[in-house]
Amino acid sequence: MQRVSFSRRRFLSSVGAAAASLAVPSTGGGAMSMKRIAPNRASDSFRADVDLELVAKPGSAPILPGRETNVWRYSARLLAGPADTLTSIADSFLGPILRFTKGQKIRIRLRNELPERHITHWHGLHVPALMDGHPDYAIDPGETFVYEFEIRNRAGMYFYHPHPHEATATQVYRGLAGAMIVDDDEERALGLPSGEFELSFVIQDRTLNDANQLIYGGGMHRSMFGFYGERILVNGRTDARFEVASRAYRLRVLNASNARIYKFAWDDGTPITVLGVDGGLLEAPETRPYVMLAPGERLDVWADFSGRAVGSKLTLRSSRFYGALPRMGGHMMGGMMMESDLPPGSDYPIAVFDVARAVNDSPALPRSLAKIARWREEDAANVGHPAAIEISEAPMSMLLNGQPYDDDIQPGERFPVDSLQIIDIFRARASGGMGGMGGMGRMGMMGRGMGMMLSMRHPIHLHGQQFQIVTRAFEGGDEAYASVRDGFVDSGLKDTVLVSPGERVRILKPFGDFKGRFMFHCHILEHEDMGMMRQFSVE
Ligand code: C2O
Ligand code: CU
Ligand code: CU
């Protein structure tokens, strides 16, 4: 895979001064009617254990040495509740870590001080439809939306981020993102490494110009393939480096990148010991030579530095994999289109751990972690008739179930409340002569004309309750799949699953407790904004 920097230079110089303010496409003028629903207000009957104010507004933060970067960011203020609810991350544009406990009742007063519409979504949390950050509830500048919900989730790491239709990618890119950590009794009883021995990593990629300002480059290719930045940020800073003691740590990782998929591996070949995924702990630790982490997914890792010499270091890398971008005539398209110096799928460091002090009291890895009630296909309401999420892709037309995002709910997207459903996620069969794009989508003809066949991996995310992965079947035998297939951890509870071309992923998904409309979409945010999003109606 060759490095491509020619286009980057040209891009940087052509953008010039305009780059000082991030060049973003105009938002909000899309096909969807702009609904005006009065922002939800606080209710008197809701007894909040935690009450906080969350503000989204422009600001600045250091990313590189020198001038600060203009960003949009979350800031929070605790009005009532435990003092450790908010942990701000020093020198970072990221929102504070929000710490909640299962069973707590949470009120969040979201104030929009951005120059455009905004709504925040609590990725992975099982909350009522009104509290889920549906794009229909986006509020205008100056307005406040009050969320009230109970934490029903298991302990785990979750993610808050914007969700206004057609503006999610740009708002996240400008800096609006944060981690949430839920704990519960079951997890606390394990005594996993905590305090200074628990590290949270929010991983993103960004491109900055010479004046340290964000560039959201890539034009039409960015919409098609997603944005790939040329620097990796951990918790909002580049060149992440941590001093650790020679003992075990708990490392909690959230991929908050717009599109970039990571293949986590330790540089010395040590396997990755996985404690948990999106929806919390696994039943028991599992090891993998590497672990894939797509946008929206989380990973809980036992990072053991015990027995390592003071002065040694261990690097967490993203290692090489294939199929990160579609191919054309055998060549990866990235080379011709991306200004990135860090091509997706290449090998690069994410964070370096320097063993700085010796200790002898490292905790032992627990043999078992948690109980997960396994659902069975026989228990599903639609056994024998699985529902489908069909991925179809053509240039500028990435769709789910053959439709862009709209208000119509198709019969296969409606489910009775309190039911368990089997859903198969797969790539739609080509109906014409050209791979996945025959006859599909608004721009199908254009794609045909360009002689392109797209075949990308898509991280499919479903709002609402966490699901279980039943099977992951793969037809074919390409080297691209061989380079990722050992990196999936499918045994835990999930809200996002990476689906490769040729794969059919079967999930069991509960639709419990709450009626209403819940989104499902590709978590490559550029795809989501392009319309690779639909809704389930729970009735
Ligand atoms: Cu993290 Cu609907 O998204
Ligand atoms: Cu979500
Ligand atoms: Cu996608």
Q: What CATH code is carried by the domain that includes residue 331?
A: 2.60.40.420
Which domain, by its residues, includes 30?
A: 2-182
| Residues 85 and 11 reside in one and the same domain | yes
Phi, psi dihedrals of residue 210, rounded to the nearest 5°: -65, -20
Q: Measured between alpha carbons, how far is 246 from 405 in angstroms, rounded to an integer?
A: 50
Instruction: Tell me which of 231 and 407 has the higher pLDDT.
Output: 231
pLDDT band at 153 (very low <50, low <70, confident <90, very high): very high
> Above 50 in pLDDT, residue 330?
no
Q: Is 58 part of any domain? A: yes
Instruction: Tell me which of 284 and 329 has the higher pLDDT.
Output: 284
> Above 90 in pLDDT, residue 302?
yes
List all residues whose CB is within 6 A of at least one atom of ligand 1. 121, 123, 159, 161, 163, 296, 461, 463, 519, 521, 523
Per-residue confidence (pLDDT) for residue 223, from 0 to 100: 84
Q: Measured between alpha carbons, how far is 497 from 500 in angstroms, rounded to an integer?
A: 10
CA 383 to ligand 3 centroid distance, Å:
28
| Residues 29 and 175 reside in one and the same domain | yes
Q: What angle do CA 270, 273, 274 make, to 5 degrees?
A: 150
| Residues 37 and 113 reside in one and the same domain | yes
pLDDT band at 35 (very low <50, low <70, confident <90, very high): low
User: Average pLDDT of 512-532?
Assistant: 96
Instruction: Tell me which of 326 and 408 has the higher pLDDT.
Output: 408
The closest-lying atom of ligand 1 relative to the alpha carbon of residue 161 is 1
Considering only CA atoms, which of 197, 108, 118 is closest in space to residue 146? 108
| Residues 251 and 391 reside in one and the same domain | no
User: Average pLDDT of 132-158?
Assistant: 97
Q: What is the pLDDT of residues 393-444, one digit of tens each?
A: 877 788 999 999 998 999 999 999 999 999 999 988 754 333 333 333 333 3
Q: Report the residue count for the chain.
A: 539
| Residues 242 and 271 reside in one and the same domain | yes
| Residues 352 and 298 reside in one and the same domain | yes
Q: Which of 307, 328, 357 is the last residue of a domain?
A: 357
For ligand 1, atom 3, the nearest C-alpha belongs to 123
Average pLDDT, the chain: 88
Torsion angle of the four alpha carbons 346, 350, 356, 362, in this order, in degrees rounded to the nearest 10: -100
The closest-lying atom of ligand 1 relative to the alpha carbon of residue 521 is 2
Q: Is 492 part of any domain? A: yes
Q: Is 64 part of any domain? A: yes
Q: Is 370 part of any domain? A: no
Q: What is the pLDDT of residues 63-115, one digit of tens each?
A: 999 999 999 999 999 999 999 999 999 999 999 999 999 999 999 999 999 99
The number of distinct structural domains making up the chain is 3
Per-residue confidence (pLDDT) for residue 6, from 0 to 100: 31
Q: Is 372 part of any domain? A: no
8 A C-beta contact, residue 192 and residue 150:
no
Q: What is the pLDDT of residues 474-487, one digit of tens each?
A: 987 678 999 999 99
Instruction: Tell me which of 33 and 367 has the higher pLDDT.
Output: 367
8 A C-beta contact, residue 33 and residue 135:
no
| Residues 167 and 31 reside in one and the same domain | yes
How, if at all, do strands 493-494 and 291-293 pair? unpaired
Task: Report the phi/psi class of residue 170: left, alpha or beta, with left for phi > 0 and alpha for psi in -120 to 50.
Answer: alpha
CA 133 to ligand 2 centroid distance, Å:
9
The closest-lying atom of ligand 1 relative to the alpha carbon of residue 496 is 1
Q: What is the pLDDT of residues 220-229, one digit of tens each?
A: 888 888 999 9
| Residues 320 and 387 reside in one and the same domain | no
The closest-lying atom of ligand 1 relative to the alpha carbon of residue 528 is 2
Per-residue confidence (pLDDT) for residue 15, from 0 to 100: 33
DSSP 8-state secondary structure symbol assigned to residue 96: P
Q: Is 366 part of any domain? A: no
CA 517 to ligand 1 centroid distance, Å:
14
Per-residue confidence (pLDDT) for residue 58, from 0 to 100: 98
Q: Is 367 part of any domain? A: no
Which listed ligand is nearest to 530 at the C-alpha?
3
Instruction: Tell me which of 17 and 218 has the higher pLDDT.
Output: 218
| Residues 204 and 228 reside in one and the same domain | yes
| Residues 249 and 168 reside in one and the same domain | no
Which listed ligand is nearest to 459 at the C-alpha?
3
Q: What is the pLDDT of residues 7-27, one digit of tens each?
A: 333 333 333 333 334 544 444
- Return the structure tokens found at 50: 């935690």
Q: What burial letters (b/e) apply to 428-461, b meaning 16+ CB within 10 Å?
A: beeeeebbbbbebbebbeebbeeebbbbbbbbbb
CA 495 to ligand 2 centroid distance, Å:
7
Q: Is 188 part of any domain? A: no
> Above 90 in pLDDT, residue 32?
no
Which strand ranges, in their side-by-side order, compose the sheet holding 50-61?
A: 69-80, 50-61, 105-112, 144-150
DSSP 8-state secondary structure symbol assigned to residue 37: -
CA 202 to ligand 3 centroid distance, Å:
21
User: Average pLDDT of 177-182?
Assistant: 98
Q: Which of 161, 182, 203 is the last residue of a domain?
A: 182
Q: Which of 182, 203, 237 is the last residue of a domain?
A: 182
CA 168 to ligand 1 centroid distance, Å:
9
Per-residue confidence (pLDDT) for residue 326, from 0 to 100: 67
Per-residue confidence (pLDDT) for residue 395, from 0 to 100: 72
Q: What is the pLDDT of residues 182-205, one digit of tens each?
A: 999 999 999 999 999 999 999 999
User: Average pLDDT of 455-473?
Assistant: 96
- For the chain, what is the radius of gyration of the CA atoms? 22
pLDDT band at 333 (very low <50, low <70, confident <90, very high): low
Whether this model's pTM surpasses 0.85: yes
- Return the structure tokens found at 323: 């199929």
Q: Measured between alpha carbons, how far is 356 from 536 in angstroms, rounded to an integer?
A: 50
pLDDT band at 469 (very low <50, low <70, confident <90, very high): very high
> Above 70 in pLDDT, residue 338?
no
The closest-lying atom of ligand 1 relative to the alpha carbon of residue 123 is 1
Angstrom distances, CA of residue 19 to CA of 15, 114, 213, 214, 217: 6, 19, 7, 7, 10
| Residues 449 and 335 reside in one and the same domain | no
Instruction: Tell me which of 430 and 454 has the higher pLDDT.
Output: 454
For ligand 1, atom 1, the nearest C-alpha belongs to 123
Least confident of 64-68, 325-329, 464-468, 490-494: 325-329
CA 462 to ligand 2 centroid distance, Å:
6
- Return the structure tokens found at 168: 């999610």
| Residues 204 and 55 reside in one and the same domain | no
